[in-house]
Chain A
Amino acid sequence: MDAVIDIALLALLAVTALAILRMRNLFAAVMLSGIYSLLSAGIFTALDAVDVAFTEAAVGAGISTVLMLGTLAIVGHKEKKPAHTPLLPLFVVLVTGGALVYGTLDMPPFGDPTNPVHHHVAPRYVEESGHEIGIPNIVTSVLASYRGYDTMGETTVIFAAAVGVILLLGGARPARVAAGEVSGGSEEGSEPLEEQSHG
């Protein structure tokens, strides 16, 4: 039963990805990418990764869809038809995909408990975290305690990204818009951007 759910959801995911690729209306593509995230959250649940599933559902299907929609409100949602033939990209993608498929032939089989990935530190976390940390959720124990430095690094990255977004869209903008007004040119996009900074 597990295998059936897995196969069906992964097939749906592949179809959704292809639909996103073919979609010229970016609004529809963004909504499909929300569906894509939700489907992958379902797959993560089926693969026992419940923490990852709800993070993906909240962050992937929620926040990034909202961010993309906010951007589309400013830049417009029509994608132009590509002018050049996609032969070279298609060739690159097929060769890369072929190399990766060749690489998977040596992969240990899916779901086998003797796979190398299950040996090194993972058993220790499973066996010891219960009385070392005292939290039933092993993922939380590893995230917040054993690998707390990783999480601190993650926080640093998010802080850097937030600073980047603020610098790109925040502070510098009023001066720039004012300069545009002084020179008499009404810059395209300045009005919706102001709306966004209020929202």
Chain B
Amino acid sequence: MRLLGLYNYWVVIVLMMVGFYTIIARDNLVKKLIGLSIFQTSVFMLYISMGRIHGGTAPILMEGTDVVYSNPLPHVLILTAIVVGVATTAVGLSLVIRINEAYGTVEEDEIHSQDESL
């Protein structure tokens, strides 16, 4: 049970590291942004996992006094984070489009070599 208690967190770390690796090891800028969104979602998963209570239910009030609700606070924080995450992704994609317009490529190493040849 102890191992199962950490399973969620470990999968979150695996996802986080896959996203991180995509960001630092891939040259394609769109791929980097996909990696960034994988990373973001893993953080959401971490928060939501912490808010969960065994035997609890969604935090929507029901009749009866002995109902256990999961913690609503992480849900609120992550709702905000999801929307902000998409907003930043949109800005990042616009930057990629402008970079493509200026350099004719979205591969980072080609952009660097163009900069150096100037």
Contact = CB atoms under 8 A, between A and B. Distances in A.
Interface of A: 3, 6-7, 10-11, 13-14, 17-18, 20-21, 26, 29-30, 33, 36-37, 40, 43-44, 47-52, 55-56, 59-60, 63-64, 67-68, 70-72, 74-76, 79-80, 82-84, 86, 89-90, 92-94, 96-97, 100-101, 104-105, 107, 109-113, 115, 117-118, 121-122, 125-126, 129-130, 136-139, 142-143, 147, 150-151, 154, 157-158, 161-162, 164-165, 168-169, 187-190, 193
Interface in B56-87: 56-62, 68-76, 78-80, 82-84, 86-87
- Interface residues of B: mostly helix, strand, loop or mixed? helix
Given A111-B5, A165-B91, A21 B18 contact: yes
A14 to B, nearest CB: 5
Contacts of A64: 37, 86, 89
Contacts of A86: 21, 25
Given A59-B82, A93-B24, A193-B101, A100 B48 contact: no
Nearest to B25: A89
A111 to B, nearest CB: 4
Interface of B: 1-2, 4-11, 13-22, 24-28, 30-31, 33-35, 37-38, 41, 44-45, 48-54, 56-62, 68-76, 78-80, 82-84, 86-91, 93-98, 100-101, 104, 106-107, 109-110
Given A104-B9, A111-B53, 10 more contacts: A44-B44, A48-B57, A49-B51, A56-B41, A60-B86, A68-B30, A71-B97, A74-B100, A136-B62, A139-B75
